[in-house]
Structure 1
């Protein structure tokens, strides 16, 4: 739904806006498809089994590990997206009728989408954690709230401030951070990223 909203607002922002966003989001969604969705699909069965057996500590451990692994994977990928995004856009699209200004526009949109890469991946983990606990209201509520915020921000950025297509990607990233914040406030324990075994694992990976 957000992609449809993005396309509609991008059309009003500038003529080439929908194309720039389409090219950018295809790159941004690649790490989500390769890692985020895979982790989300793998975590649901053990979470469900832990809850069915009423092993709450085991449920939290699985959730913590999945969130931490996602964070560890997405952090360097986000950095690479910002550092080498222009090179990737040029390599993939920079030929034929795709001119220099198109590369610049697509890269800018990619960076704006990249702001929301980490929370997008974490939401993919947190939502199944809610489903495993038969909590369907929270992810539905947070997604609808984020969608509403996306509409408000797009209207503000484009119709009031007159920003270009990149503002659509910025609005999407802000809304996904809000979505993550709502889910995370309910599910993530304060000690998550300071859990000693997980920190040791992270250091060994660097």
Structure 2
């Protein structure tokens, strides 16, 4: 995959992810407006986090870290990739089906383990909601496998578009609840498993059109499956450690009223650039590096890694600066309405700024991890994640008596930078292929300068537009103007000083 083609892959995934995240904002705005921070919202967040947590553990994390490189290698080597894919599908289906059954039985224990600070009302609500939404993991895990097949074959669009269905269906459900006067939370929880079915149908059909019409059958234990499981276990443990970080944060937040809802809303905001940039780069880079390393194309692998890092920083650094400089205008305009008041928006803004400070670390982790996974090395990321987990838990629990509900956000950011540092240290010994090229080293300082200039512009105009940002009706236009000024200043300065070249972007867009 040539560099321009690689970047077009980033853009393809990024654009669809951007659409998904924008619709996700609309989704969260409607949920916060119709339900608002409180017992119902806290219970839903805790319940919905359970299938998402295990989905990342089994499917998007451990499973894909082992499956995608092996599937890509089989495609490159003209081996029977379809047979391997079918065996992986059957094994994953069996594991997630058993997990779903156990979770339905032991849901109260899961809620207690992840949100032990809930009172009886929120605990009972979360348990009931959890039993409705948990089957989502079965459908989404299988969808993740088919997405891995599509990504390995270079068909990124459908896999990236699948998450859009969840947001569209939830927005539709919230609209119907508002229009009919129905109970919004009931519409919301029942839509989640239905959306999982829709996403699975989309990716399954696309994989069949790509020549991989995989069918469920009896699981088989083969040498390939044995190797995949041995590779996946350390990745599963590493992903599990990261999920423990989320659980620790939620446990601390659950002892404070509305804190689970505030952190959830803040998480959705910083996940926008993380999803558009970091996750998109990781999805495209892993199969590309796997193929290049198998073919001993070290120069191509180094170029791909350098362009991925450059692309990530060019979009992540200005996003991080914006989240740190103007969090309150963002949260007040996006979330403050209906059941979500000014105090809620202010609390969410504090968390957004803290998460924003960690955004570059979160994104660069997505760029560095494929270097390990493409080589079949899932053990060292697990060891690094263990260290990050200890740091996260110590800060979240240790600081909560002093700074209260915001301690989990601080812990997440500090642990994110610690994890990134460990990943960089671990690259030693991999050779020149993991060293960025001269072009990136020259452009990074210029990207930083352009981002700082944008931060100054945002700060000045946020102050000037403060009255408009607080006025109903006008505030949407004011926020759009503020974002436009910031983006214009960044891209203008970046192009002028050579941090970005518009010709590169235009070429990538044409290819995508």
TM-score normalised to structure 2 length: 0.37
When residues 128 and 191 of structure 1 are mapped into structure 2, their CA distance, relative to the original with a 3 A threshold, is: closer
Aligned equivalent of 2:328: 86
Aligned equivalent of 2:418: 178
Equivalent in 384, 391, 402 of residue 149 of structure 1: 391
Please list, as runs of the form range in 1=range in 2, the aligned pairs for 1:1-206 lying within 5 A after superposition: 1=243, 2-12=245-255, 14-159=256-401, 162-187=402-427, 192=436, 195-198=437-440, 199=442, 203-205=498-500
Cα displacement string for residues 22-74 of structure 1 (whole angstroms, at most 9, x for unaligned residues): 11011011111112111111111221122112233332222122112111210
Q: Distance in 2 between matches of 1:185 and 1:87?
A: 38
Cα displacement string for residues 96-115 of structure 1 (whole angstroms, at most 9, x for unaligned residues): 23222211111001111111
Q: Distance in 1 between matches of 2:389 and 2:292?
A: 32
Aligned equivalent of 2:126: none
When residues 55 and 191 of structure 1 are mapped into structure 2, their CA distance, relative to the original with a 3 A threshold, is: closer
Instruction: Choose 81-90 or 107-116, whichever is displaced more.
Output: 81-90
Q: Is the 8 A contact 2:278 2:312 kept in 1?
A: yes
Q: Is the 8 A contact 1:109 1:165 kept in 2?
A: no
When residues 65 and 96 of structure 1 are mapped into structure 2, their CA distance, relative to the original with a 3 A threshold, is: same
Q: Distance in 2 between matches of 1:172 and 1:60?
A: 30
| Residue 191 (structure 1) shift | 6.5
When residues 117 and 204 of structure 1 are mapped into structure 2, their CA distance, relative to the original with a 3 A threshold, is: closer
SS at match of 2:404: coil
Q: Is the 8 A contact 2:324 2:357 kept in 1?
A: no
Q: Distance in 2 between matches of 1:32 and 1:169?
A: 16
Q: Is the 8 A contact 1:17 1:164 kept in 2?
A: no
When residues 57 and 186 of structure 1 are mapped into structure 2, their CA distance, relative to the original with a 3 A threshold, is: farther
Cα displacement string for residues 134-186 of structure 1 (whole angstroms, at most 9, x for unaligned residues): 11112111122212211111121014xx2122221011100011111111122
| Residue 93 (structure 1) shift | 1.0
Aligned equivalent of 2:186: none
- The number of residues matched between the two structures is 201
When residues 200 and 8 of structure 1 are mapped into structure 2, their CA distance, relative to the original with a 3 A threshold, is: closer
Q: Is the 8 A contact 1:146 1:178 kept in 2?
A: yes
Q: Distance in 1 between matches of 2:295 and 2:327?
A: 45
Q: Is the 8 A contact 1:81 1:111 kept in 2?
A: yes
Unaligned runs of 5+ in 2: 1-242, 448-497, 502-512
Q: Distance in 2 between matches of 1:178 and 1:130?
A: 17
When residues 145 and 200 of structure 1 are mapped into structure 2, their CA distance, relative to the original with a 3 A threshold, is: closer
SS at match of 2:403: coil
Larger radius of gyration: 2
Q: Distance in 2 between matches of 1:183 and 1:125?
A: 10
SS at match of 2:296: coil
| Residue 200 (structure 1) shift | 5.2
TM-score normalised to structure 1 length: 0.89
Unaligned runs of 5+ in 1: none
Q: Distance in 2 between matches of 1:99 and 1:197?
A: 47
Q: Distance in 1 between matches of 2:247 and 2:343?
A: 24
